[in-house]
Amino acid sequence: MKKNKSKGAGRSSLGPSSKNGSRRNVGSLPQQRTYEIPDHRLEKPPFRVAQVQTAVGCSYEISGDLSSPVPPIRDSKYLNRTETIEIYRWMVLNRKMEQALENLYKQGKVVGGVYFGLGQEACSCASAYALGEQDWLAPMIRNQGSLLVRGFQPRDMMMQYMAKADSPTKGRDGTSHFGDIYQRNVVSPISMLGDLIPVMAGVALGARLQGRNIAVMTYIGDGGQSTGATYEGVNFAAVQSLGVVLLIESNLWAYSTPSEMQYRVQDLAERAIGYGIPGVIVDGTDACQVYDAAHEAVERAHRGGGPTLIEAKMMRMKGHAIHDSADYVPKPLFEYWRKRDPIARFEHYLVEVKKWLSPEEHQRLIGELEAYLEQERELAVNSPMPTAESAEGGVYCEAGCHEIRPKYAAPKSGVSKRAPGPRSPEGALHFK
Ligand X SMILES: Cc1ncc(C[n+]2csc(CCOP(=O)(O)OP(=O)(O)O)c2C)c(N)n1
Residue 316 in contact with ligand X, rule: CB under 6 A: yes
Which lies closer to Mg ion via its Cβ, residue 295 or residue 313? 313
- Judged by CB under 5 A, the chain residues 219 through 248 that form the site for Mg ion are 221-222
Query: Judged by CB under 5 A, does residue 254 bind Mg ion?
Result: yes
Q: Regarding beta strands 57-64 and 47-54, do their DSSP bridges make them parallel or antiparallel, or are they unpaired?
A: antiparallel
Strand bridging mode 279-283 / 257-258: unpaired
338 is catalytic: no
For position 116 contacting ligand X by CB under 6 A, the verdict is: no
Out of 121, 249, 296, 376, the residue judged to bind ligand X by CB under 6 A: 249
Burial of 228 (0-12, 13-18, 19+ CB in 10 A): exposed
11 is catalytic: no
Minimum gap (Å) between residue 259 Cβ and ligand X: 8
- Of the candidates 40, 74, 320, 362, the residue annotated as catalytic is 320
CB neighbours (10 Å) of residue 43? Answer: 13
| Residue 228 binds ligand X (CB under 6 A) | no
Q: Are 197 and 280 in contact (CB under 8 A)?
A: no
Residue 27 vs residues 64, 91, 106, 216, 296: alpha-carbon distances, Å: 33, 43, 59, 35, 28
What's the one-letter identity of residue 268?
L
Q: How far is the CB of 141 from ligand X (least distance, A)?
A: 7
Q: Which does 206 bind (CB under 5 to 8 A by kind): Mg ion, ligand X, none?
A: none
Q: Which of 156, 183, 177 is nearest to 167 (CA)?
A: 156
* Contact window for ligand X (CB under 6 A) among 70-78, 253-261, 292-300, 330-338: 253-261
The answer to the question of residue 55 lying near ligand X (CB under 6 A) is no
256 binds ligand X (CB under 6 A): no
Which is nearer to Mg ion, 296 or 311 (by Cβ)?
A: 311
Q: Which residue is nearest to ligand X (CB)?
A: 221
Nearer to Mg ion, 241 or 259 (CB): 259
Q: Which is nearer to Mg ion, 317 or 369 (CB)?
A: 317
Q: Is 255 in the site for ligand X (CB under 6 A)?
A: yes
Backbone conformation region of residue 96, classed left if phi is above 0, alpha if psi is from -120 to 50, else beta: alpha
CB of 167 or CB of 262, closer to ligand X: 262
List the single partner that 227 binds among ligand X, Mg ion, none, CB under 5 to 8 Å by kind: ligand X
Q: Is 275 a catalytic residue?
A: no
Distances in Å between the Cα of 247 and the Cα atoms of 123, 140, 147, 268 are 8, 11, 15, 11
Binding residues for ligand X, total number by CB under 6 A:
16
Q: Strand 216-221 and strand 244-250: pairing?
A: parallel
Q: How far apart are CA 61 and CA 56, in angstroms?
A: 15
Give the residues across from 136 on adjacent strands: 216
CB 234 within 8 A of CB 308: no
Indicate the residue among 222 and 292 with the shorter CB distance to Mg ion: 222
Residues near ligand X, by CB under 6 A: 142, 191-193, 221-224, 227, 249, 251, 253-255, 316, 320
Which active-site residues does the annotation give? 316, 320, 328
